[in-house]
Amino acid sequence: MAVDSPARERILETAYELFSRRGVRAVGVDTIIAESGVAKMTLYRHFASKDELVLAFLARREERWTRGWLAAEVRSRAADGAGRLLAIFDVFDEWFHRDDFEGCSFINVLLEMPDPDSSLNRACAGHLVVIRGFLAELAVEAGVADPEELARRWHILMKGSIVAAGEGDREAARSAKAVGALVLASLPR
């Protein structure tokens, strides 16, 4: 079957929704089969294993969440790097207040699969590197002397706010933005 067949897309979309909301370990292949309406053989024709399906989900999450939503929203809200870095937390604030807030799939799967030798753990770490790369680009735009270091710090603020929101602190993005403003003000340029 073609890589982009309707059945493959239905399986991946179903897995995307289920993995995003419930986590990878909590969702079995049988649930994905039942919800997508495909036969088990069809699923395995497109994805040789559940891990392969999870890897496809993570790639789609990067495409939709990191590039299609977060980066696009941030770039549309501010004209310069510093403003865009801070705008991340405005975007997060709206996200954290939504009824369908599900947290960061990369963090969630990373925690579900703690073995650093796991392909899923490595994939999540790789997707998080992509986010830090985006942050480094914004830091360069902001004229920061050490963009990689700022990206690392900023990513810690982002991940911390996501975890805090997952704990129920829906104001976490506002707190992270305040800390971020202090970080930016303290950096040599």
pLDDT at 3: 60
Alpha carbons 177 and 77: distance in angstroms, whole number: 15
pLDDT at 4: 73
User: For the chain, which residues make up each domain, given as ranges?
Assistant: 1-48, 50-186
pLDDT at 2: 47
Split at pLDDT 50, 70, 90, the class of 1 is: very low
Q: Does domain 1-48 have CATH number 1.10.10.60?
A: yes
Averaged over 151-174, what is the pLDDT?
98
Averaged over 150-157, what is the pLDDT?
98
The average confidence (pLDDT) of the chain is 96
Is residue 66 over pLDDT 90? yes
pTM for the predicted model, two decimal places: 0.93
| Tens of pLDDT, residues 119-147 | 999 999 999 999 999 999 999 999 999 99
pLDDT at 11: 98
CATH code for the structural domain at 50-186: 1.10.357.10
Is residue 14 over pLDDT 50? yes
Tell me the one-letter amino acid at 53. Answer: L
pLDDT at 188: 79
| Tens of pLDDT, residues 71-87 | 999 999 999 999 999 99
| Tens of pLDDT, residues 168-186 | 999 999 999 999 999 999 9
